[in-house]
């Protein structure tokens, strides 16, 4: 039996998707803390970083054996010294870093936490709280913009 037409195209697409899945070099989390209609962003100040000189939504790598949720809890504590009390999953997507690495990212919105966020890694990044409009203006990276827009959508639904 010969396979042609739409079936061939479908099988080719499945092959391409499988190849793309194998190309993911890293997996990470992005997390956006929200408080009083403001969002916590970071300005990357470490030279050589793929995001040097840019504002972005904070995040980090998923360690071996860790789930995205576990990584988000750990990264929020390690980078900002706060304990997550309520976290909302926003999305999972793939992106290319400025160093041309393909990454799979899991995005979360932190809506409640214990403690006050601190700059625990000032050699890497500086923290900035921005209101929605200023955050939109400063976050130019597509992945950060996406997370911000998803967070805004979620929060606008909570106001009803």
For residues 104 and 130, the answer to whether their CB atoms sit within 8 Å is: no
What is the rounded CA–CA span in Å between residue 28 and residue 62? 5
Q: Is the pLDDT of residue 140 over 50?
A: yes
Give me the CATH number covering residue 90: 3.90.79.10
Q: Could you tell me if residue 71 is inside a domain? A: yes
The string of pLDDT tens digits covering residues 32-71 is 999 999 999 999 999 887 788 999 999 999 999 999 999 9
Query: Which two tokens mark 152?
Result: 């805004």
For the four alpha carbons of 55, 107, 117 and 79, in that order, the dihedral sign comes to negative
Identify the band that residue 7 occupies on the pLDDT scale cut at 50, 70 and 90: low
Q: Can you give the pLDDT at residue 160?
A: 46
Residue 111: phi and psi, rounded to 5, are -105, -10
Residue 64: how many other CB atoms lie within 10 Å: 5
Where in the sequence is the domain holding 64, given as residue range(s)? Answer: 25-158
- Mean pLDDT along residues 101-114: 95
DSSP letter for 101, please.
-
The answer as to whether 95 is a domain residue is: yes
Global pTM? 0.82
């Amino acid at each position: 039996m010969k396979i042609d037409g739409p079936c061939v195209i479908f099988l080719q697409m499945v092959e391409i998707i499988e190849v793309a899945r194998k190309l993911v070099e890293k997996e990470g989390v992005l997390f956006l803390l929200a408080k009083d209609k403001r969002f916590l962003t970071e300005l990357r100040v470490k030279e050589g970083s793929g995001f040097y000189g840019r504002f972005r939504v904070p995040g980090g790598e998923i360690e071996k054996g860790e789930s995205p949720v576990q990584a988000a809890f750990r990264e929020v504590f390690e980078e900002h010294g706060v304990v997550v009390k309520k976290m909302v999953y926003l999305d999972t997507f793939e992106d290319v870093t400025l160093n041309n690495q393909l990454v799979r990212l899991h995005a979360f919105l932190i809506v409640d936490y214990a403690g006050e966020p601190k700059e625990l890694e000032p050699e890497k990044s500086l923290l900035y709280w921005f209101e929605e409009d200023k955050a939109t203006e400063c976050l130019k990276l597509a992945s950060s913009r996406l997370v911000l827009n998803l967070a805004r959508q979620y929060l606008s639904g909570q106001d009803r």
